[in-house]
Amino acid sequence: MAALPLLAIRDLTVQFRVDAGWLTAIEGVSIDIAEGDCVGVVGESGSGKSVTALSILRLHDRAATRIPQGSISFQGVDLLKSSDRALRRIRGREIAMIFQDPMSSLNPVLTISEQISETLRQHQDMPEAAARRRAVELLDLVRIPDARRRADDYPHRLSGGMRQRVMIAMAIACRPRLLIADEPTTALDVTIQAQILELLRDLRHELGMSVMLISHDLGVIAEFAQSVVVMYAGRVVEQAPVATLFRRPVHPYTAGLMAAVPKLDGDAARLRTIPGRIPGPQENIRGCRFAPRCDFVQEACRQAPPPLQLAGALHSVRCPPRVVLFGNADG
């Protein structure tokens, strides 16, 4: 019998309250993350990547958010039905998250060691002196030079790359089973990006963590992830192992993303783009939400959202069969 995934998101729909009522941010999202795997989630800004990640830990404003359908099971327990007390035990200890902007995530009036120690004291009941020593060890583990001295610094005294390393140290402090990394390299230059990704890869293998890596950068996903989930306008449009997806993208949106990546051996002056823009959640599109931008659109695409269907082993796509076949033949 196949082992249950560590995290299983099933048919998740999330809505936010606005003056006019409720807007659907993500709809029918299903994602599996197995023990020890890294799943990349990719898509344009507004595709629903971060909404999905925040929903796992239920970090949305409860008063302005509702989840009318779906489940999020972690080790067989539905987090959407868990009590606040149970969630507090899971956050940071079993599931940890690295956010996009470390400067806004770190407390500016507490030292680095105080912030890491707080996590250790809360989840592992560690005495203050021991937590301080462990904080220094974690800073050394994430390759911050002169960790003992840097532990007493405030966030504003660190560079962007070092602040991101501090966020990683905080996230792995309790050796979580699942690490959610939401655009962890977006604000960093290319050299620092490579260092952070190398660090995450080493820590993943050393600690045996599963990772959910959220990014709009296909190069980052290709280098780091084992499987890929492509999201567009709040829906999953394609899922596949990373090698399969990059060798043979099936959905026209995925193919468009691939074609828009600059190539060193191509004509840099002729970058391909996807015409149009991603629709907002307030726009009522009856069928496929990519239809207004799709070169292969059919009348059926405009009538109803196509279901996810198999396009190969471990490969699924939300596209009508004739479009899938035409897209494959087109290359």
pLDDT in tens, 290-321: 999 998 888 888 888 888 888 888 999 998 76
Q: Which residues pair with 179 in a beta bridge?
A: 96, 211
Give dist(CA 75, CA 52) in Å, integer. Answer: 18
Which residue reads 């992830």 in tokens? 225
CB contact set of 10 (below 8 Å; sequence gap of 6+): 30, 70, 71, 72, 73
Q: In degrees rounded to 5, what are phi and psi of residue 17?
A: -80, 135
Mean pLDDT value across residues 165-185: 92
Q: Would you give the distance in Å from CA 169 to the centre of its chain?
A: 18
Give percent of the chain above pLDDT 90: 63
Give dist(CA 271, CA 165) in Å, integer. Answer: 34
> In the prediction, which pLDDT does 265 show?
65
Which of 24-38, 139-153, 265-279, 290-304 is least confident? Answer: 265-279
For CA atoms 107, 109, 114, 118, the dihedral sign is: negative
Which residue reads 């500016």 in tokens? 108
Average pLDDT of the chain, as a whole number: 89
> In the prediction, which pLDDT does 325 show?
47
> In the prediction, which pLDDT does 321 show?
61
Q: Tell me which range, 96-100, 163-167, 236-240, 281-285, is most confidently predicted by mean pLDDT.
A: 236-240
Q: How does residue 267 score in pLDDT terms, banded at 50, 70 and 90?
A: low
pLDDT tens digit sequence for 85-95: 999 999 989 99
Q: Which residues pair with 71 in a beta bridge?
A: 10
* The pair of three-digit structure tokens given for residue 312, joined into one six-digit string: 């190969």
Q: How does residue 329 score in pLDDT terms, banded at 50, 70 and 90?
A: very low
CATH of domain 35-58+90-94+177-317: 3.40.50.300
- With a cut of 60, say whether residue 29 has pLDDT above it: yes
Higher pLDDT, 298 or 327: 298
Which of 61-70, 164-173, 255-264, 267-276 is least confident? Answer: 267-276
- Indicate the helix (H) or strand (E) that contains 37: none
- With a cut of 50, say whether residue 178 has pLDDT above it: yes
> In the prediction, which pLDDT does 313 show?
84
The DSSP letter of residue 227 is E
pLDDT tens digit sequence for 102-147: 777 899 999 999 999 998 998 888 999 999 999 999 999 999 999 9
> In the prediction, which pLDDT does 326 show?
45
Mean pLDDT value across residues 244-264: 88
Q: Which residues pair with 178 in a beta bridge?
A: 95, 210
Q: How does residue 269 score in pLDDT terms, banded at 50, 70 and 90?
A: low
- With a cut of 70, say whether residue 324 has pLDDT above it: no
Which residue reads 């494959």 in tokens? 328
Q: Where in the chain is the domain with CATH 3.40.50.300?
A: 35-58+90-94+177-317
Mean pLDDT value across residues 54-68: 94
What is the CB-side half-sphere exposure of residue 231 using CA atoms within 13 A? Answer: 28
Which of 54-58, 173-177, 271-275, 280-284 is least confident? Answer: 271-275
Say if pTM beats, i.e. exceeds, 0.85.
yes
Higher pLDDT, 73 or 123: 73
How many residues are recorded in the chain? Answer: 331
User: CA distances (Å), 44 to each of 22, 47, 104, 183, in order?
Assistant: 22, 6, 22, 12
- With a cut of 60, say whether residue 331 has pLDDT above it: no
> In the prediction, which pLDDT does 264 show?
65
